[in-house]
Amino acid sequence: MGLVGADVAYPVDTGNGAIADAMLLAAGLWVAGDAVYDFRQLIWDGLRDAGEWTWDGLRKAGESIADVPGEVLHGLEHRVDPLDW
Amino acid sequence: MRERPLSAIKDLISRAREAPLAVLALTDEEIAALDGDLTRRGPVPLPWLDDRDRASRELACRVALRGLAARRLVVLAGPAGPGGSGPGGGDFVVASDDLRAVLAMRRSAHAVVCALRESDGQLRLVYLGRSGALEEAISPEGLHDFTVLARDAVAERLAAFTDPAAAAPAAPGQDWGQQWGRGPGPGADSEVLSLAEIAGGAEITAAAGARSVTMVARLVFGSATGEQRLTVYAKEASVIVASPADVGGAPALRFAEVSRSGLRVCLADLVGLALRLVAVPRRRNVRTRETARTPARAAPARGACRLVTAE
């Protein structure tokens, strides 16, 4: 189980120690925020057979990171009562 | 009752003025015990505790509370805990000013930055106030290290976290980070891809060869601006920052190389923007798409706390 509850084997290119393309792309897509939701199916479909990415690998990487920081931040939002410090 | 935690917080911030102040470290189970209600999980990850079953979680938290009492961080008070299991459960009062301040800062920030380094599972939460900040470093093993920072030290800490091997070049050169927040930046040093292009199979060459990837998001509580996001790719000898972009009204991603100082500028802007927005009146009970999946939780009463376990 990962830090944030996602059970994802981290895709690492063991040849050179670099992180695999699927993770890099998923992390890039994450910054687009809600806009990704409109394009998500299109993106998944477009990359299904592209290069070395595998459909399942990209989907798992993307889904595992899609909302994690947001879930934490918006969860905290309900618990705060700001003080002037 | 608000004065005491506030004075303790200000004391911590003043002690952190010259250098980051490592205050204390707590375990998952200590955090959960101090939160006081095991039946309603908070949003902060508790990776070790979440792997345990319910009975083990309850036992771990009761043991944790005893440990906190033995270290004189809390004082157990009132009747025994659920099931009459002795002094490990039940009511308690936080006895340490530093611990009280840390707990209060976690609950009273104006904005929060969340940085998740996907490559090794390390997480940083930075709770932002006007005059300082509290960093909570969460390891995959469930240890929570708390460090109080001066406001102008936050960006440096985040830069070190997102670029752990110091791969960003020191020389500024053509540095997109220096123009962060002031327009699109120099196109020659950045790669912009629309989501439609990515959907068509366009490769993101700028991110290739990354050794670590960190997603950074910040949210200002009570503002309508939503999350602001960056992804930092640290490579062998360079650092790329990805950010949302707009190409003729179409959503896109921008990938730009930054120097060491440029990375700091990018992150300082993220933090600084949050601090500039803290004057926005707080709107309560705002539920976004994300929060709709996260049940709201009533704020616990200050002062005496109680460890609540499932019956």
Q: How far apart are CA B140 and CA B121, in angstroms?
A: 6
Domain range enclosing B29: 3-108+287-306
The answer to whether A85 contacts B209, with C-beta atoms less than 8 Å apart, is no
Let me know how long chain A is. 85
Domain contains B148? no
Query: What was the pLDDT predicted at B79?
Result: 56
Of A25-29, B54-58, B154-158, B206-210, the range with the highest mean pLDDT is B154-158
Which of B198, B280, B287 best probes binding to A when mutated, by most A CB atoms within 10 angstroms? Answer: B198
* Residue B272 and residue B169 in one domain: yes
Is residue B59 in some structural domain?
yes
Q: Name the nearest CA neighbour of A53 among B208, B138, B62.
A: B208
Whether residue B151 is contained in a domain is answered as no
Q: Which amino acid is at B295?
A: P
Total-model pTM: 0.80
Whether B239 and B293 share a structural domain: no
In a domain, B171, yes or no: yes
Residue B205 lies in a domain: yes
Q: How confident is the model at residue B222 (pLDDT cuts 50, 70, 90)?
A: confident
Inter-chain residue contact B296 with A78, CB threshold 8 Å: yes
Do B269 and B294 lie in one domain? The reply is no
Number of cross-chain residue pairs from A and B with Cβ atoms under 8 Å apart: 213
Angle at B40 between CA A6 and CA B135, to 5 degrees: 65
pLDDT of residue B112: 94
Indicate if B79 and B166 belong to the same structural domain. Answer: no
Of A77, A81, A84, which to mutate for an interface test with B (greatest number of B Cβ within 10 Å)?
A: A77
Confidence of residue B77 (pLDDT cuts 50, 70, 90): confident
Give Cα separations from B33 to A2, A32, B46, B58, B62 (angstroms). Answer: 22, 37, 12, 9, 7
The complex's ipTM works out to 0.73
Nearest CA-CA distance, residue B2 and chain A, Å: 8
With CA atoms as reference, the chain B residue closest to A75 would be B43
Picking from B115, B118, B289, the nearest residue to A65 by CB comes out as B118
The answer to the question of residue B149 being in a domain is no
Residues B19 and B66 in one domain: yes
Q: Residue B114 is nearest to which of A1, A51, A72, comparing CB atoms?
A: A72
CA distances from B119 to A15, A66, B50, B136, B139 (A): 16, 15, 21, 18, 12
Same domain, B164 and B274: yes
Nearest by CB: A46 against B104, B199, B212: B199
B116 contacts: CB under 8 Å, gap ≥ 6: A3, A4, A65, A68, A69, B122, B123, B214, B215
Residue B301 burial by CB count (10 A; 0-12/13-18/19+): exposed, middle or buried? exposed
Taking an 8 Å cut-off on Cβ atoms, the answer to whether A38 and B251 are in contact is yes
- Give contacts of B6 with chain A, Cβ < 8 Å: 83-85
Task: Please indicate whether, in this complex, the C-beta atoms of B211 and A19 are within 8 angstroms of each other.
Answer: yes
Together in a domain, B240 and B294: no
Least confident among A27-41, B142-156, B197-211: A27-41
**Binary contact (A30, B229; C-beta < 8 A):** yes
Interchain contact, A23 vs B108, CB within 8 Å: no
Give me the residue from A17, A36, A72 closest to B44, CB to CB: A72
Query: pLDDT band for position B133 (50/70/90)?
Result: very high
Report the share of chain B in percent with pLDDT over 70.
76
Below-70 pLDDT ranges, chain A: 1-22, 37, 40-68
Structural domain contains residue B223: yes
- The count of domains in chain B is 2
Tell me: pLDDT of B304 over 50: yes
Task: Answer yes or no: do B85 and B13 share one domain.
Answer: yes
In a domain, B121, yes or no: no
How close does chain B come to A4, measured CA to CA in Å? 6
